[in-house]
Structures are given as C-alpha cells and as structure tokens.
Amino acid sequence: MNVLTDPAAVLLTEAAHAARSAAAVLAQAPRAQKDAALIAAAAALRAAAPDILAANAADVAAAPDLSAAFKDRLTLTPPRIEAMAVGLEEVAALPDPVGRVLAEWTRPNGLTIRRVAQPLGVIGMIFESRPNVTADAAALCLKSGNAVILRGGRESLRSAGAIHACLGAGLRAARLPAGAVQVAATADRAFVGAMLRAAGLIDLIVPRGGKGLVTRVQEESRVPVLAHAEGLCHTYIHAAADPAMARAILANAKMRRTGVCGATETLLIDAAIAPGLLPLLVDDLAALGCRFRADARARAIRPDLPAANDADFSTEWLDAVLSIAVVDGMAQALDHIRRHGSEHTEAIVTEDAEAAMTFLNGIAAAVGMWNASTQFCDGGEFGFGAEIGIATGRLHARGPVGLEQLCTYRYHLLGTGQVRP
C-alpha cells in the first residue's frame, strides 16, 4: 500500500519521527532525569488506579468470548497495578546502562580508543493483550535511553491508554518529551505491518507473545528483531548424574511453572541409569500432575507411559506434559537436541565436569545450564533486574534482554593531532 495514503503508515511515520526526536534527548538525559520520570509515573499509576480499573473493565466487557487464560492476562486488579508501580520504581533503582565504558585501550601512536554504551534509538514493542507490559517495557526502554512505540493487543486499548496517561505524566514531571513513550491508539492491524516495514525509522522490534505472533514478526519484519519464537527446552540426565539432584531439578524445570518459555519440555535420560531412575522421575512428576509422552525405550522401562510420536518431541507443551526419550549417551542427546530444540535453554545434570563442558559447548542454545533448572533462564534470575524478553537469534544479544542489551555502542577516539601514515 502507498505509504502516503495508508492511514496506519502515516500514523506510524508521525510517531516514529516524534520518537526519533525524543530519542536524541533521552540519549543524553542524565540518570536522575530518567529516574524522576519513572518515579513520577509510578505515583501517577497509583493515583490513577480507579481510572485504570474502569478502563480495563470496559476492555474486558467489550471483548467477546474470552478464554479464561486470555481474560486472566487482560484483567487488571489493584495488586497488579501496584506491581506495575513497584516495577517502575525498581527499574529506576537499577544502574544507568548508558555511557558505560565497555573497553578502553591506547594504541602505539597515542590514540585512545573507548567503546561506549549508547541507546539503540527507537524501539517498537509488539505484544498481546497483557496491559501491564505497557508499563514494564516503557520503563526498560526509558531507562536505557530509548524511545519506544508500544503496540499492544487490540482488546487492551483502553487499559493501555490509561496506563500510558500515567507514563506521560511521569515524562512531563521530568521535562522529558512525550515522544519518548508512545502507545498506538488504533485497533488497525495495518499498524503492526507499518512498524515491521519501518526500517530506518525504528531501530529494533521486540515482539512478546505466542509463537504465531513472534513468527509473523520475524518473517515479515524489515527491522531487526530480538525475540524467541519458542522455548523447547531439554533437561538431559547424564549417566553420571546425582539421582537426588536430578529428581529435584527435573521436577522444578518441568513443573514450577509450565507456561513459561524456560520450562523443560523434554527429558533425555541416559540408558545406563534409566532403569533405576526413570520410574522415580515419572512418579515425582505424576504426583505433581504431569502427563507424559514416552519413546519406546522409556516405555520398555515404564509400559504405563503413553507413546510419543516424533512430532511430540518438536512440541512446546507449555503445559504439564513431558516428552521422554532414552539416549545412549552424549552424542545421541546432542543430536536429539539439534533436531528438536529451539536454541533457547538446555540443561545437563551430571557430576562429570568434562561431560558438562562437552554438553555446554555442543548445544546451539543461547543458554546452557549445568546442574540447575532450565527455569533460571530469566533476566531477574541473571541479576539484570528486569527483562524485556528472551532472544534466541545469533546477532546482538542472546538470552535475557535487559537494560544492557537494549544498548549498542560507539567508539570515541581521543587524539592529540594524530594523522594516519
């Protein structure tokens, strides 16, 4: 569609220009000013809680035929609004990632070369109908000196608008430009398409949501994307595993929360220890409500397990379901992960340090765990304070994306009149 006549493209272009101007201000804003905006926004959220709840109630009422899970994600409550406000204050308390000197060296000719962290510029955030993402993502972008254009689910427009009003109040209180945090106020789906075509106007797209949304964004975007489409994580229980540790880790990795991307979806277990250990693992998980899809070798040990087909091993269950395969050691385990994994997070349980290193170096995933639960793949657990998402691509950032990963760098070369021979 013609850029000049497509209303969504016109809207996006206007927003992007305002964001670019704001980004130039934000990039040089001192920490205190950014923090003041976040703290004022938190206060505004608390003060506006009744308005936000009313807007949210209207969103929920207007959305037809919601599934229970969808309605739960869409619905705001007083504790959820308080959690958003606390989230803003927590981001304010984090160190400023901008201006950090990442490396510095001096050349034989006396030139000092400094690699300095700076904001990426303008970020486009595309997410489904969880209105609290509006505040969380805006806080991370603001603190990292980036302007952001937020496009939430169409069902949450009123809620996002009410939250955005509080973020705007925070920006005004800190004398930062309104273009720093913008929320798409249109239900027009073409706006997402316009964002994805906005190379040069938007520097980075961060999609958050189901596999369908993320895959569409990755396939269509002309703008670089940081994301993960899937978290098909494996826990490999190696022959030299400590059995008690293996039981504790697997139960946590599968069942702590089943709907998160770092949850284990497949158990790989070495044939040498499977006869003794697999029944214990299965009983542990069954007691927690887990169901199973097992390969023939696992069913030879526990014939009561339902049979898995090959598609099951490529399925991210996001539910209390575990795929199980028995393997003949490291090479088979790595091969299984190569064929079925999503390069998100894989874990090995073993007391054998050499085997652990072979595994950690042999997988392609962004994150590898040795003797720990795959559910540790999380920005908070990494010590990042917060995250805007998890990335499984090869470029820029991998694993949890926090404030540091929302920055790029540039070089400052400090001379005393050097010329090149």
C-alpha to C-alpha distance for 405 and 348, rounded to whole angstroms: 26
Q: Which residue among 87, 209, 341, 368 contacts its own copies (CB under 8 A)?
A: 368
How many other β-carbons are positioned within 10 Å of the β-carbon of residue 185? 14
- We find the least distance from the C-beta atom of residue 421 to its own copies, in angstroms, to be 8
Instruction: Give the C-alpha separation, 180 to 122, whole Å.
Output: 9
279 makes contact with its own copies (CB under 8 A): no
Pick the piece of the chain touching its own copies (CB under 8 A) from 83-91, 166-174, 275-283, 354-362.
354-362
Applying CB under 8 A, among 10, 14, 28, 300 the residue interacting with its own copies is 28
| Strand pairing report for 291-294 and 321-327 | parallel
In the numeric block, which tokens belong to residue 149? 């254009």
Q: Which is nearer to its own copies, 101 or 187 (CB)?
A: 101
Compute the Cα dihedral for 125, 87, 28, 174 and give only its sign: positive
Q: Does 113 bind its own copies (CB under 8 A)?
A: yes
Pick the stretch among 32-40, 52-60, 290-298, 379-387 that binds its own copies (CB under 8 A).
379-387
Question: Which of 2, 4, 67, 105: binder of its own copies (CB under 8 A)?
Answer: 105
- What does the alpha-carbon distance between residue 209 and residue 323 come to, in Å, rounded to a whole number? 23
Amino acid making up residue 206: V
The beta-strand segments (E) located in 196-232 are 204-208
Count of Cβ atoms closer than 10 Å to residue 27 Cβ: 17
The encoded tokens of residue 164 equal 């955005």
DSSP strands (E only) in 122-261:
122-127, 147-151, 181-183, 204-208, 233-237
Q: 27 or 165, CB closer to its own copies?
A: 27
Q: Which residues, 398 to 417, sit near its own copies by CB under 8 A?
A: 398-399, 408-417
Interface with its own copies, residue 376, by CB under 8 A:
yes
- Return the residue matching tokens 């303008």: 122
* 419: contact with its own copies by CB under 8 A: yes
Compute the least distance from the CB of residue 336 to its own copies, in Å. 15
To the nearest whole angstrom, how small is the minimum distance from the Cβ of residue 381 to its own copies?
7
Stretch that binds its own copies, among 59-67, 174-182, 299-307, 395-403 (CB under 8 A): 395-403
Instruction: Tell me: does residue 64 bind its own copies (CB under 8 A).
Output: no
Q: Which of 6, 33, 8 is nearest to 22 (CA)?
A: 33
Sheet with 321-327: list strands edge to edge: 291-294, 321-327, 264-270, 233-237, 345-349
Concatenating the DSSP letter of every residue in 127-141 gives E-S-THHHHHHHHHH
Contact residue for its own copies among 33, 71, 82, 224 (CB under 8 A): 224
Query: Cα dist. 18→168, 178, 184, 382, 414 in Å?
Result: 14, 8, 13, 34, 33
| Residue 124 beta carbon to its own copies: minimum distance, rounded to whole angstroms | 13
Strand extents, DSSP E, 203-308:
204-208, 233-237, 264-270, 291-294
- When asked if residue 17 is in the footprint of its own copies (CB under 8 A), the reply is no
Among 43, 83, 111, 280, binds its own copies (CB under 8 A): 111
**Binds its own copies by CB under 8 A, chosen from 167, 192, 294, 369:** 369
Quick one: 103 or 187, whose CB is closer to its own copies? 103
Position among 4, 68, 69, 395 found at the interface with its own copies (CB under 8 A): 395
Q: Are 219 and 61 in contact (CB under 8 A)?
A: no
User: Would you say 186 or 408 has its CB closer to its own copies?
Assistant: 408
Taking CB under 8 A as the criterion, the residue among 18, 204, 267, 327 binding its own copies is 204
- Which one, 54 or 113, has the nearer CB to its own copies? 113
* Residue nearer to its own copies on the CB measure, 50 or 212: 212
Contacting residue, 213, 249, 269, 401, with its own copies by CB under 8 A: 249
HSE on the CB side for 316, CA within 13 Å? 20
Assess 21 for contact with its own copies (CB under 8 A): no
248 binds its own copies (CB under 8 A): yes
Contact footprint for its own copies (CB under 8 A): 27-28, 105, 107, 111, 113, 120-121, 203-204, 224, 242, 245, 248-249, 251-253, 256, 356, 360-362, 365-373, 375-376, 378, 381-383, 393-396, 398-399, 408-420
